[in-house]
Amino acid sequence: MKTPILRFAIDSVYRKIGIAVEATSDPADPVSFDLIPSENHPNDSFSVHFSLSWRTATAEFIPGKFATPLIEQMGLAGTDGKSLFTAFASALEARKTHLTFRVNGIDLSPLDSTDWPTNWRRIELQARSALQVIERDDLAQMQQLITDLVIPIFGMAVSLIGVEETKGSTEGEPEGNAIQTPATRYERKRVNREACIQLKGTRCMTCGFDFGTFYGPIGAGYIEIHHITPVSQIGSDYQIDIARDLVPLCANCHAMVHKENPPVPILRLSKLIQDRKGE
């Protein structure tokens, strides 16, 4: 039977990134584990290894033994994939997480893809938490570490692996479903949503409402994501920039920005709210 920590990790990767994963762990140390995409053979794919030490936690991308084609494909990622990667990296940096990113043995900036090579043979990608007291029996702390470390590493990996787009079906989800080039399926809209949350949080950017603070555990982590560039204006070649194009909004503010066409600018709605509060 899987421990609550493993169940949380498996469920979180699926809900937030859209990948079904399996977990393997040492029964003597269930809070150190590997998460492996279910649809691919581990040798051809990758895993994310989560481990604890006395004062830190670490999540690391581990390529499979025969994952050379996968690594080569990551090196050929397009502008949108690199932008998504750097959004996750920016969120990690903001939390004072130590991020290691090496390609072919050379340290690269995870925040600027300008000088990245295109011929990738090896990749090292690891996120290590800031120094803190680690309580292995503290389920809430373990869950937060998984959210802060494992989820971004998965997001960074799939952002570079590449997808084939299909048409979106609903407002606010323009990227639609996607299929990762080697077999693993995930929804790109989930990855974009999670990158926005990792980068900007779950507090509404116009009114400051936080579902978790107001409703407690049932509302924790909930927020809607607004596309500043209207979906109707996004063409097939539009490259989404997480920092520029996506913002977290509560349901009320999200409804209000769509009361007009084009949508009400975020700064204008914020001013309307502040003016109303000042009456």
State percent of the chain over pLDDT 90: 77
Give the DSSP letter of residue 60: E
Q: Which residues contact 268 (CB under 8 A, 6 or more apart)?
A: none
The pLDDT of residue 180: 40
Q: pTM value?
A: 0.88
CA distance 139 to 8: 10
CATH code 3.30.930 for 4-186: yes
Distance of CA 61 to the CA centre of its chain: 14
Average pLDDT over residues 58-77: 97
Mean pLDDT of 183-206: 83
Q: Nearest Cα to 91, choosing from 35, 133, 147, 10?
A: 147
Cα atoms found within 13 Å of the Cα of residue 219, Cβ hemisphere only: 14
Q: Where are the domains of the chain?
A: 4-186, 201-277
- The model's pLDDT over 122-163, given as tens digits with 9 standing for 90+, comes to 999 999 999 999 999 999 999 999 999 999 999 999 999 964
State yes or no: pLDDT of 168 exceeds 90: no
Instruction: Please indicate whether residue 167 or residue 239 has the higher confidence score (pLDDT).
Output: 239
Q: For 7-34, what is each residue's pLDDT tens digit?
A: 999 999 999 999 999 999 988 887 899 9
What is the number of other CB atoms lying within 10 angstroms of the CB of residue 214?
9
